[in-house]
Amino acid sequence: MCKTNTTLGQANQDAWWKMAGNGNENADGDFSFSAAAARDALPRITTEKGAKSADVCHDDTAPRVNFQTIDELHSLQKKRSAPTTPLKEGGGVVMGTSGPTTPSSGETMLQSVSASLASLTRETGPKLIRGDPTSAAKVAHVPHTPTSVPAADVSDSGLKFTHILHNLSPAELYEQAIKYEKGSFVTSTGALATLSGAKTGRSPKDKRVVKDETTASELWWGKGSPNIEMDEQTFLVNRERAVDYLNSLDKVFVNDQYLNWDPENRIKVRIVSARAYHSLFMHNMCIRPTPEELENFGTPDFTIYNAGKFPCNRYTHYMTSSTSVDINLGRREMVILGTQYAGEMKKGLFGVMHYLMPKRKILSLHSGCNMGKEGDVALFFGLSGTGKTTLSTDHNRYLIGDDEHCWSDAGVSNIEGGCYAKCIDLSREKEPDIWNAIKFGTVLENVVFDEHTREVDYNDKSVTENTRAAYPIEYIPNSKIPCIGPHPKNVILLACDAFGVLPPISKLDLAQTMYHFISGYTALVAGTEEGVKEPRATFSACFGAAFIMLHPTKYAAMLAEKMQAQGATGWLVNTGWSGGSYGAGSRIKLAYTRKIIDAIHSGSLLNATYHKTEIFGLEIPNEVEGVPSEILEPMNAWEDKEAYKDTLLKLAGLFRNNFETFTSHKIGDDGKLTEEILAAGPNF
């Protein structure tokens, strides 16, 4: 039987209607076929008398079409999108098979990328083609002119072409990931599930920073510092390794994007990577340029070479594993070898901001940030897993950002264009906004899902406990775009205290805020291994020692000055255990923590009555609306009061030991604040 479409001629339409209506019954004698005929052979169709070209099924010949071949038909499917995908016709630079002709911006982009990918020893960039290699069959017939002419020592790598997938859209990146990257799937809500490979978290021990004349004196080196040195020469060895690896591929992804929503302090970054997963992750996490901005992007301020699929060479000086994450502030470059965990790129750039921004008297912060309807801004500091993303994503407030911010003389600005939420045990009820953000465009790392329905099981830790979702910030319905705000009113320090001795909420004076900011305490549970019950205390200066570049007291001094100038209030919120340490007590309910945060935002806590705790000298409110009063004073919640006191003393000792490295450092111009900060620690 012939197929029909909706553009049948009237005569055929009638015939179709009749056939559809009565199957093989003879309706009015115009056409008929018997059930037997239908079984044995195709029925003969007789069209109405008088209809033109009888005996021909017209369904396939309906209105004239603009294509002669299947390829031409396919070419019609894709509407051209201007002006981000320019194509220069004839000679010159060759790009993909789709895209309009715009003068030379595509050429400029390819020249710029070619310069980025140039080998430093051969001094030539690769021959670049825009677009997917699979659509290159056609391109191969076009005479190529490389963007830079190879020097005398032509190598095989200098003869091949590398395809550049420049700022692809999420849909294009999905297709690339699903076609070429094992472990990429669309989940039931449309997110792209990916695997990050052997590494499912950052590798801080493999981070190296180039120590040259400038950085030797500017950066924080030595005990407690995250900056493990490497020399310029070794950096170049790793850079060349990464560049050669990337040039050996058929295609590389290039993202040109921005950091920092403050237009005066915006940084242009280029990310060159081998995986669609990395490109989509950075598309979501950095600020996305408009088509016009992309066209005029120019030379990046900072470039990442992500060759994470390829290991570093352990015979190379300073290399202690097959992973190396190398930052060269002088060259404004970062090289990644031996880890595909995408968070390295995000946090590597954060480190760079911790160097560049303080030079401009801008404070960079590992914090979440949101704003109330009245314009009151709150910062949420805390180490990984303490609640920055969870608590800054608040249905009643505007989200400015969840993880990285700048505080300048003008106010706050988000560094990023997206959020990176932990998803372990994620539930729609407790975190609806994050739940709903996991949709088309979102990268879901290392989650486990049903092989048929593709429904994600957020409780499953089979791959890792550090499952993550990276989504553009506008996926949160009440995000504040552009992501900037006025000066903060509240500075909330989050600690997930698995010892269970810090109060769920306490008010801090400025010296205490500085003391806890420099300490950067949290105590997550050691792990999920059986038998491990002891919480492990972590102290990470400025709640982000892994990312800071200068001595912690430099950031602390800036924070003190800004908080003082703006009259901001400091708070310490324990999002961890209550009623006993991990194992005996339980984690403070997220609903209670949210009530506490509400009371900070509303200003009601500022006017509450307080009592001071022993040892840590923290001011605890006697009441918080919606929170059982028994849990506000930690000792009340512990059954075994002696155990409570022992644990409290133990934690106080850990704080004191940790702070010893900072006792000889002055903060601010006068010695007064420094003395006050030293006195703001535990007293016992």
Ligand X SMILES: O=C([O-])CC(=O)C(=O)O
178's CB contacts (< 8 A; 6+ apart) are 184, 185, 186, 192
* Min dist. Cβ of residue 338 to Ca ion (A): 24
Among 99, 343, 485, 576, binds ligand X (CB under 6 A): 343
CB 81 within 8 A of CB 172: no
Catalytic residue among 403, 433, 497, 598: 403
- Say whether residue 257 binds ligand ATP (CB under 6 A): no
Q: Which does 593 bind (CB under 5 to 8 A by kind): ligand X, Ca ion, ligand ATP, none?
A: ligand ATP
**With CB under 5 A as the contact rule, which of the stretches 46-54, 168-176, 383-391, 490-498 interacts with Ca ion?**
383-391
Active site annotation includes 202: yes
Q: In the complex with ligand X, which residue's Cβ is closer, 281 or 420?
A: 420
- The CA distance from 286 to 284, in Å, is 6
Q: Which does 347 bind (CB under 5 to 8 A by kind): Mn ion, ligand X, ligand ATP, none?
A: ligand X
Q: End-to-end distance of the chain based on CA atoms, in angstroms?
A: 92
64's CB contacts (< 8 A; 6+ apart) are none
CB 677 within 8 A of CB 518: yes
- The CA distance from 163 to 176, in Å, is 13
Residue nearest to Ca ion (CB): 389
* Sign of the four-CA dihedral 404, 466, 450, 278: positive
Q: Residue 133 carries which side chain, given as an amino acid letter?
A: P
* Contact flags string 386-405 toward ligand X, x per CB under 6 A: -----------------x--
Phi, psi angle pair for 451, to nearest 5°: -70, -20
Q: In the complex with Mn ion, which residue's Cβ is closer, 512 or 540?
A: 540
Q: Among residue numbers 392 through 451, which ones bind Ca ion (CB under 5 A)?
A: 403
Active site annotation includes 179: no
* Min dist. Cβ of residue 171 to ligand X (A): 26
Q: Which does 132 bind (CB under 5 to 8 A by kind): Mn ion, Ca ion, ligand ATP, none?
A: none
- Say whether residue 347 binds ligand X (CB under 6 A): yes
- Say whether residue 389 binds Ca ion (CB under 5 A): yes
- The CA distance from 541 to 205, in Å, is 16
Q: In the complex with Mn ion, which residue's Cβ is closer, 326 or 403?
A: 403
- The CA distance from 411 to 85, in Å, is 36
Q: Which does 202 bind (CB under 5 to 8 A by kind): ligand ATP, Ca ion, ligand X, none?
A: ligand X
Q: Residue 98 carries which side chain, given as an amino acid letter?
A: S
Strand partners, 471: 419
328's CB contacts (< 8 A; 6+ apart) are 209, 210, 232, 235, 239, 334, 335
- The CA distance from 500 to 333, in Å, is 43
Among 174, 341, 420, 644, binds ligand ATP (CB under 6 A): 420
- Say whether residue 420 binds ligand X (CB under 6 A): yes
Burial of residue 430 (number of CB atoms within 10 Å: 0-12, 13-18, 19+): middle
* Min dist. Cβ of residue 200 to ligand X (A): 9
Active site annotation includes 211: no
Could you tell me whether strands 185-186 and 161-166 are parallel, antiparallel, or unpaired per DSSP bridges? unpaired
Phi, psi angle pair for 356, to nearest 5°: -70, -40
- Say whether residue 202 binds ligand X (CB under 6 A): yes
CB 518 within 8 A of CB 645: no
- Say whether residue 354 binds ligand X (CB under 6 A): no
Examine residue 472 and say whether the peptide bond preceding it is cis (omega within 30 degrees of 0). no
* Min dist. Cβ of residue 414 to ligand X (A): 14
Residue nearest to ligand X (CB): 343
- The CA distance from 445 to 464, in Å, is 10
Q: Say whether 601 sits in a helix, a strand or coil.
A: helix
* Min dist. Cβ of residue 590 to ligand ATP (A): 4
- Say whether residue 249 binds ligand ATP (CB under 6 A): no
Nearest Cα residue to 496 out of 465, 523, 463 = 523
* Min dist. Cβ of residue 446 to ligand X (A): 12
Q: Crossing angle for the helix pair 510-519 and 671-679, nearest 10 degrees?
A: 70
Active site annotation includes 403: yes
Nearest Cα residue to 618 out of 659, 658, 651 = 651
Catalytic residue among 468, 507, 594, 601: 468
Q: In the complex with ligand ATP, which residue's Cβ is closer, 284 or 384?
A: 384
Active site annotation includes 389: yes
Catalytic residue among 194, 303, 389, 522: 389
* Min dist. Cβ of residue 466 to ligand X (A): 7
CB 119 within 8 A of CB 155: no
- Structure tokens given for 220: 């924080």
Q: Which does 387 bind (CB under 5 to 8 A by kind): ligand ATP, Mn ion, Ca ion, none?
A: ligand ATP
* Min dist. Cβ of residue 421 to ligand ATP (A): 5
Q: Among residue numbers 379 through 418, which ones bind ligand ATP (CB under 6 A)?
A: 382, 384-391, 403
Strand partners, 328: 333
Catalytic residue among 241, 347, 397, 554: 347
Q: In the complex with Mn ion, which residue's Cβ is closer, 234 or 392?
A: 392
- The CA distance from 377 to 485, in Å, is 7
* Min dist. Cβ of residue 546 to ligand X (A): 7
Number of residues that bind ligand ATP (CB under 6 A): 19
Q: Which does 497 bind (CB under 5 to 8 A by kind): Ca ion, Mn ion, ligand X, none?
A: none
Active site annotation includes 388: yes
Among 219, 363, 437, 588, binds ligand ATP (CB under 6 A): 588
- The CA distance from 35 to 432, in Å, is 57
Q: How far is CA 437 from the centre of its chain?
A: 13
* Min dist. Cβ of residue 505 to ligand ATP (A): 11
CB 377 within 8 A of CB 400: yes
Number of residues that bind Ca ion (CB under 5 A): 3
Site residues, ligand X (CB under 6 A)? 202, 343, 347, 384, 403, 420
Active site residues: 202, 347, 366, 384, 388-389, 403, 468
Site residues, Ca ion (CB under 5 A)? 388-389, 403
Site residues, ligand ATP (CB under 6 A)? 382, 384-391, 403, 420-422, 424, 575, 587-588, 590, 593
